[in-house]
Chains A and B, each alone.
Chain A
Amino acid sequence: MTTNTSSRGGPVGVGRIKRLVLYAILIFMAGLYLIPIYLLIVTGLKSFTEVSQAQMWALPSGLHFESFTKAWYGSPAEGFRGLGSNFWNSIILVVPATILSAMLGSINGYILTKWRFKGDTLVFTLLLFGMFIPYQSILIPLVQVLSKIPWFGGTTLYGTLAGLIFVHVIYGLPITTLIFRNYYAAIPNELIEASRIDGATFFSIYRYILFPLSVPGFVVVMIWQFTSVWNDFLFAVTITGNPDTQPITVGLNNLAGSYIVEWNVQMAGSLLAALPTLLVYILLGRYFMRGLLAGSLKG
């Protein structure tokens, strides 16, 4: 484990040069990956007078938040909506969708690992396939069905955030079940058997044994769902046609597609839309990575 490249192959001098080249390449690549973020931040922070295409890569003269204010509140005079209300819609969407998905995934994972039945792997595989389908293949009946389920205020689920939450919970089932199933599979069955002998029931095993051990699993699943629901565009654009209920991805796409919106406002808007998931990534990156790896079936 302690071997490092400088001690192998050739004299030490060559090894040192190799290390330097290695770091130079890595720093160069890191720079490339940061270019889009650099542009987002730099442009978002410029004042309106500074923004010009020729000065695209220049640093701002100071910290100007005008672009963010305009992206958030919009400009009724110029005729475009801000992303503020879309941002709150996304929050209202993401919080319940994430919590419900995680709870269902956890129960399903518990049953599929600790209460195994004949054909359970087949059921699981059929469930899993739902994670890979192109959602285009279910959109048409989805819209039909949602517009027939009545909802409060004389409307139907179609066009509401509740409908969108419902959709995300359902199509999130495969991935949340997968992650919890992998997670619970690592908890020894002997533990369950022993507690059953001691008289634990279906619910008390979950409540007192599995659930307390599940915190990291919940974190992974909730980060995964949070990110994918926040970033979703296809379901959102199909189900919410009214700008008052649209989440931020749809709002941003409308904002960026409008020719009257200055591009520094578009950049500020993009940053607003990216901020929550980026924050989660920065604070809980370790778990984010675990979710990614779990998404490829074998955690």
Chain B
Amino acid sequence: MKRITWERVTAILLLSPSVLAIALFVYGFIAFTAYASLSNWNSLVPDFSWAGFSNYQKLFANQRFQIDLRNTVSFTILFLFACLVIGFFLAYLLDQHIKGEGFFRSIFLFPMAVSLIVTGVVWRWLLNPGSAEMGSTGINLLFDKLGLGFLKWGWFTDPVVWHIPPDSGVGQFLQQIGLGFLASPLVGISAGVVSLVLAATWQMSGYTMAMYLAGLRAIPNELREAARVDGASEWQILRLIILPLLRPITLSVIIILGHISLKIYDLVVSMTGPGIGFSTDVPAYYMWDTTFRGNHFARGSAIAIVLLLMVAVLIIPYLVWTNKTEAEL
């Protein structure tokens, strides 16, 4: 049956342009970037002389990059947490035989269709705290109108970074056990990142909702009925039956949203820029900035490779896992 026929040759020939394109434009280009990251090409003139890992060494010693890593990690954790919790909450509510379910679903999902640039522009105005002369604007103004003035704050214009103070009890304890670095501003959350998370969650939590809703619909009702007959409470059903069955979906969501949030760029550009003291800077932004504005191609390449490695750690096990489960089917 697997004889070589003209048709099989045609099939391979038709597939090969795509395969070659990906081989060159993905794998070849990554190899080029990796090579450039080991070179001295830090001006407009390409210079591929060998620099070893010096670009990486300088990068990790560079305070801006350290702040960037902190921001990406804290952004990813907060964003994932918010999307998972809100997405599941909405899906669970919508799964209760709601009238107008489609209507609600559309409202929670529509931000996904909008460009992150649009999201950034709108949220920059929403979270613009206003000024002493002009008064409050945006959400702060809304808080004022609702009598919730105490909730007002500077959002992304506030340079604060929340972290464990080194001179606090916890900070001193961490120093004693040799984990003093945990009590520094480099392991913290900036106000700017929180603002970005708000906008990104508005945009993406609908996706989590859609995924969970699909998952909830796939759980046979008999399972819940049987548990109810056995006297399980709704809370027990949720905790012992529904949540464990949704675990594969949670994993998928973490991987999809996780890799998106590690790469986040558009939102930072349009909403905040790098921020005061790089409070909203991320590696993706730094990469573009240093490469295409500063002509530090080797440094830009090094940042890109670090980004790629972070994403690969998340994605490759997932691809292997999906492949395996598919082979089992």
**How far is B134's CA from A105's CA once the two chains are assembled, in angstroms?**
53
CA distance in complex: A298, B300 (Å)? 34
Q: Which among B113, B270, B288 is the interface contact of A253 at CB below 8 angstroms?
A: B270
B155 on the interface (CB 8 Å rule)?
Answer: no
User: Are A141 and B210 interface neighbours, CB within 8 A?
Assistant: no
Task: List A97-147 residues whose CB lies under 8 Å from chain B.
Answer: 104, 107-108, 111-112, 115, 117, 121, 123, 125-130, 132-142, 145
Q: Is the CB of A117 within 8 A of B109?
A: no
Which residues of B sit under 8 angstroms from A37, Cβ to Cβ? 110
Query: Chain A residues with Cβ under 8 A from B27's Cβ?
Result: 126
**Distance from A107 Cβ to chain B, minimum over Cβ atoms (Å):** 6
Contact A29 B118 (CB under 8 A): no
Q: Is the CB of A111 within 8 A of B11?
A: yes
**A278 sits at the interface (CB 8 A):** yes
- Residues of B275-329 whose CB lies within 8 A of A: 284, 287-288, 291-292, 297, 300-301, 303-305, 307-308, 311, 315-316, 319, 322-323, 326-327
- Docked-complex contact B141 and A136, CB < 8 angstroms: no
| A9 on the B face (CB < 8 A) | yes
Which B residues touch A107, using CB under 8 A? 14-15
**Chain B 13-42 interface 0/1 with A at a Cβ cutoff of 8 Å (1 = within):** 011001101100111111011001000000
B8 interfacial by beta-carbon distance below 8 Å: yes
Q: Which residues of A contact B206 (CB under 8 A)?
A: 33
Are A285 and B109 also in contact (CB < 8 A) when A26-B104, A56-B141, A134-B263 are? yes
Known: A115-B11, A134-B311. A9 touches B106 (CB 8 A): no
Q: CA–CA, A201 to B6, complex, Å? A: 10
Chain A stretch 14-40: residues in CB contact (< 8 A) with chain B: 22-23, 25-26, 29-30, 33-37, 39-40
> CB-CB < 8 A to A295: which residues of B?
256
Binds B, one of A62-70, A150-158, A229-237: A229-237
A263 interface contact, C-beta 8 A: yes
Contact call B33/A9, Cβ cutoff below 8 A? no
Residues of A within 8 A of B (CB): 1, 3-5, 8-9, 22-23, 25-26, 29-30, 33-37, 39-40, 53-54, 56-57, 104, 107-108, 111-112, 115, 117, 121, 123, 125-130, 132-142, 145, 170-171, 173-174, 177, 201-203, 227, 230-231, 233-234, 237-238, 249, 252-253, 256, 263, 266-267, 269-270, 273-274, 277-278, 280-282, 285, 288-289, 292-293, 295-298
What are 30 pairs between A and B in contact, CB < 8 Å?
A5-B97, A33-B107, A33-B108, A33-B110, A33-B202, A35-B126, A53-B141, A129-B316, A132-B315, A133-B311, A134-B284, A134-B307, A136-B303, A136-B304, A140-B32, A140-B304, A170-B21, A203-B10, A231-B114, A233-B116, A237-B288, A252-B115, A256-B121, A256-B270, A263-B125, A277-B115, A280-B113, A288-B109, A295-B256, A296-B252
